[in-house]
Amino acid sequence: MAQVTSPGEVIRFGAFELDVSMGELRERGVRLSIQGLPLQILAILAGRPGTLVTREELRTRLWPADTFVDFDHSIRNAIARLREALHDSAEHPRYIETLPRRGYRFIAHVASRPSESSTPAWQQAAGPGASDKSRTLKLQWLLLAVSVILTAVIGRLWVRHRLLYDSPTHRVTEQRITSNSPDAPVERAVVSPDGKYVAYTDPTGLYLRVIDSGETRRWDVPKDFIAYPNSWFPDGNHLLVARFDAPTPSLWKLSLLGATPRKLIDNAGPGSVSPDGSRIAFVRFSPKPENELWVMGADGSNPRKIAAASHAEGSAHSGSSILYPSWSPDSRRIACIEHHWGASLAPLTNLSSVWTRDANGGDLQVILKDTLLGSALAWAPDGRILYASRANTAGERDDEEARSIRVDERTGKTTGPPQLVTSGVGIIGGISITSDGKRLVLWRKNIQEQAFISELDASARKWKTPRRLTPDANANIATAWMSDSRTVLFVSNRNGTWTLFKQGIDETTADVLVEGHSIYLPRLSADGSQVLYLSQTEPADPSVPISLMRLPIVGGSSQVVLRDIGLGNYQCARLPSTLCIVSHVEKDDVIYFSFDPERGIGRELLKINGGAHDWSLSPDGRTLADFPHDHTIHFLSVENGAAREDKTITLNEWQVDNGDWNADGSGVLIPSITPAGVPVILEVSRAGKASVVLEGNANTPFEFMVQAPDGHHGILGEIVPGDNNAWMIDNF
């Protein structure tokens, strides 16, 4: 017979203990920060192991009859938080099993014991007099215990103080030093060598902030000079900045004393000045997919390449990029994070590495290789390399923590394990450290991709101001319309992992279609009978095949269409065409195959050299638009089981990275940006005529636009800034 939890019970399962009376969940004796509804649901499930607990029963037990709340969303969110705390998953559950459209079942073995907070049995049997005596005795013991504990606490506080401030790896608290709103997000920030200033950029300009007083003043540069601070020179009077507003990215030297900005080099991205002030390491872009690491004199003289990003290794890896470089304290070695791009579009499959090499390009030492690595790092004066890393390995959110690892600056090799420095909310976009190593500044980004809906003004052939699909602040990415042109399919990480939803454009709540890890890119089959989506069961391992799944709209369970490593984009035409195409990335080649949602993979249609890029299939299934990450669009004719190039369009004034066909197939809708930094949606006809059909906000770039089959509405993906600011840590 199934157990039923009693109020004074402790339920044990695996490494966990649930103390019902105390309202605590502990892992190996350590209390976890989970409470409220998730804990209530866990008590119900674990109290009846092996038994189905329906959603309706949870609703009845947890909410009064007259409560108005989105029960299903609240329960799903609570279950997701529980799985995150228990290191569990929906696909391979160890504790909580989901029975679709029915409820949940606790499947782990449980044991129980009385809670330490419940009344002891001897006291219950002793009667009132014994209870009074026991309270007196307990009070005496309590006073003695308090005395002992106070002595111990004082001693431990002293020891902790010594350990905390004598250790370079103690955990610290971040202090905000800029307070920009989401309308003016901080876009880069670096601390001065003496720790007095932080230079930062937002959409209104470049600023210098006095940290201790909070005084802020605009840097005296020309009005059209949009600069991103990279690194201070050791004298504390000059700043290395990057410009990306000109046709070619470039590095410049600015002076606090008001001198005219001086260009150091063209075709150069992020850079770092060596601690001795003699050289600058910087990233340079090349015609190849991989970028390069260069070194030059502090005045821009004698630039020379010392390394290139590594080439693709296997079908799961499509290319690499070297990110922000940082110098060793003795100015002899350079550390970088190298981002190895996954061939697929799946979340969290990109692998990164931290390496060092000498300033002449030799003696490569790989320190770390992990899918959790972020993009920021800095080499501290005490020899530690600080780097960004995704904080939560169980969930699929983007919060990052700063970690450190000790490195011998002579050899570039590690001398100790990674240590946690600090954790916070948001992505760490940059790390900078003062010359004495006592002050650290982090630039944190909180951005999310959100789904917006826009309505077409047919008379003007323009799109109206978009509105949010959902008020949820987490990432929400909508990529497909249902056949009714009123319902969209989207994925969201609002419950901790990427989940597939559907929602009407006039509704505010969504229905869950599929729960799991790394579900993404939902689309519709040609006949509209199947929802298709991609899924990766091991999002941290790019060598695990990606699954293309189908889910019947009339109901039922998901089925595998095909599995492959390096699975990229896929798309189906609309009836009367039944063509569906999927792309596979293998090193520098993109191979296009036909497929059938019922029968799986078909024949090869086309192979294009040039690495992973976006493409879109026209509604009639006759033309494939290919976007090779430049200013061109290749239109390819698809007929008789093959594809061939038909026409190439060049848009010299517009950058083209991706696009989607409009509803009638007369052209493609492309996100781009004006020279002034205004995001736009272009409509480009098959003949190559480009028109701006929607303008956005400067700080909210468009990612894509997908028009509904009836043409009246469109889904927009937009990158929405949140709390993007600089944070400071002393004595880290």
169, pLDDT greater than 50:
no
Cα separation of 533 and 340, whole Å? 24
Mean pLDDT of 554-564: 90
CATH number of the domain located at residue range(s) 448-721 in this protein: 2.120.10.30
pLDDT reported for residue 454: 96
CA angle 388, 168, 381 (to 5 degrees): 75
SS3 38: helix
How long, in residues, is the chain? Answer: 732
pLDDT reported for residue 64: 66
SS3 86: coil
* CB-CB contact of 434 with 184 (8 Å): no
pLDDT band at 435 (very low <50, low <70, confident <90, very high): very high
Cα separation of 691 and 189, whole Å? 36
Q: Looking at this protein, which amino acid is placed at residue 507?
A: E
pLDDT band at 441 (very low <50, low <70, confident <90, very high): very high
* CB-CB contact of 532 with 524 (8 Å): yes
Nearest one of 605, 540, 593, 539 to 568, comparing CA atoms: 593
Which of 111-115, 325-329, 606-610 bottoms out in mean pLDDT, i.e. has the lowest?
A: 111-115
453, pLDDT greater than 60:
yes
Cα separation of 500 and 453, whole Å? 18
pLDDT reported for residue 392: 62
467, pLDDT greater than 90:
yes
Q: Does the domain formed by 175-445 have CATH 2.120.10.30?
A: yes
% of the chain surpassing 90 pLDDT: 48
Cα separation of 562 and 583, whole Å? 12
Transcribe 615-649 into DSSP letters. Answer: EEE-TTSSEEEEE-SBSEEEEEEEETTEEEEEEEE
Domain boundaries, the chain: 9-114, 175-445, 448-721
* CB-CB contact of 242 with 271 (8 Å): yes
293, pLDDT greater than 90:
yes
pLDDT band at 672 (very low <50, low <70, confident <90, very high): very high
The mean pLDDT value of the chain amounts to 83
pLDDT reported for residue 149: 35
* CB-CB contact of 570 with 561 (8 Å): no
Q: What's the CATH architecture for 9-114?
A: Orthogonal Bundle (1.10)
- Reading phi first (left if > 0) and then psi (alpha if -120 to 50, else beta), residue 300 is in left
Cα separation of 337 and 428, whole Å? 13
Which of 512-516, 564-568, 683-687 bottoms out in mean pLDDT, i.e. has the lowest?
A: 564-568
pLDDT reported for residue 129: 39
pLDDT higher at 718 or 36? 718
* CB-CB contact of 337 with 356 (8 Å): no
* Neighbour count for residue 270 (Cβ, 10 Å): 22
pLDDT band at 579 (very low <50, low <70, confident <90, very high): very high
Which of 71-75, 316-320, 507-511 bottoms out in mean pLDDT, i.e. has the lowest?
A: 316-320
Nearest one of 349, 351, 344 to 366, comparing CA atoms: 351
- DSSP code of 674? -
300, pLDDT greater than 50:
yes
Q: Looking at this protein, which amino acid is placed at residue 288?
A: K
Residues 6+ apart with CB under 8 A from 644: 606, 636, 637
pLDDT reported for residue 77: 76
Q: pLDDT (tens digit, 9 = 90+) per residue, 311-351?
A: 756 555 567 889 889 999 999 999 999 987 765 565 555 67
Backbone angles phi, psi at 405, to 5 degrees: -145, 135
Omega prior to 576 cis, within 30 of 0: yes
26, pLDDT greater than 90:
no
Cα separation of 465 and 137, whole Å? 73
Answer positive or negative: Cα dihedral of 350, 593, 483, 706: positive
Look at the block and give the residue holding tokens 């308090």: 146
Cα separation of 586 and 605, whole Å? 15
Look at the block and give the residue holding tokens 């949010």: 468
pLDDT reported for residue 137: 36
Look at the block and give the residue holding tokens 């005084």: 215
Cα separation of 730 and 162, whole Å? 16
pLDDT higher at 9 or 45? 45
| Same-fold call for 175-445 versus 448-721 | yes
Q: pLDDT (tens digit, 9 = 90+) per residue, 384-434?
A: 999 999 876 555 567 899 999 999 988 999 998 899 999 888 899 999 999
Mean pLDDT of 362-370: 89
Q: Looking at this protein, which amino acid is placed at residue 154?
A: I
Q: What residues form DSSP beta bridges with 357?
A: 334
pLDDT reported for residue 346: 57
pLDDT reported for residue 163: 35
Beta strands in 140-261 (DSSP E): 175-176, 188-191, 197-202, 205-210, 216-218, 227-232, 238-243, 250-255
305, pLDDT greater than 80:
yes
